[in-house]
Amino acid sequence: MANFSSTTFGNISGRHGTAVAVVQKDGTNVLRVFRKPFNPNSPKQVAHRLKFSLVNKELAPLRQVVTLGNKGDAGAFRKVVGKTLTEAITGEYPDFTIDFSRVQLTTGTLQSVERAEATVTEGTAEVNITWDTTLGFQSRLGADNDEVNIICFNPESRMVLPFTKAALRSEGSASLTLPEIWKGNTIHTWLFLTSADGLYVSDSISMADVQL
């Protein structure tokens, strides 16, 4: 065992608190900070890296939407990635997948809506969105002229279509026409609101996936 002689601490051998006495190649004894051995390839670390890679890849097409819906927050995408990692990963290693219904794209104080639903007009690429228009008692929570934004994401083509200002809160519905080439694909949809002055945003709501 190495020994270290110090005028302050006297003779030290082995580990001492956060330091450890070691012998260098030239034979001299020194104190070094003790670091717990770390295995970067442990099953837990490998699984985490796989999840992180998956989330970054799958959410990359939605980065601009996240930026749009979280104005002023430079770290918004990083936060969405972190929340997705902890709340939206399903499956077992190595077959992880993302449950997009649990992915939250925007976070804010504006009152959101309830009973938001997405349906498809049979035989078409038209998506119909409906929501409840009820407002809270406090007007600062929301207003009839809040703007409704709808996000459609096709994971097959990795294409995102944002329909900003698709309707007003008070209208309770909106109809969107998606590309004909998307027929046969499953589309993930979200809805969030922004105030008329653009200063406030609501939490995003994930609506049921639609099959075109």
Half-sphere exposure of 12 (CA within 13 A, CB side): 21
What is the reported pLDDT for 43?
78
164 and 67 co-located in one domain:
yes
User: Which one-letter DSSP state was computed for residue 201?
Assistant: B
94 and 53 co-located in one domain:
yes
Q: Is residue 73 part of a domain?
A: yes
pLDDT tens by residue, the chain, 212 residues: 445 444 444 444 445 555 655 555 555 555 566 566 566 678 788 889 999 999 999 999 999 999 988 887 889 999 999 999 999 999 998 899 999 999 999 999 999 999 999 999 999 999 999 999 999 776 568 999 999 999 999 999 999 999 999 999 999 999 999 999 999 999 999 999 999 999 999 999 999 899 99
Q: Which CATH number belongs to the domain containing residue 78 in this structure?
A: 2.60.40.10
Q: Is residue 174 part of a domain?
A: yes
**Cis peptide before 94, with omega less than 30 degrees from 0?**
yes
Q: Is residue 38 part of a domain?
A: no
**Residue 28 lies in domain:** 3-33
Total residue length of the chain: 212
94 and 10 co-located in one domain:
no
Task: Look at the pTM and tell me if it is higher than 0.75.
Answer: yes
95 and 29 co-located in one domain:
no
What's the domain count of the chain?
A: 2
28 and 101 co-located in one domain:
no
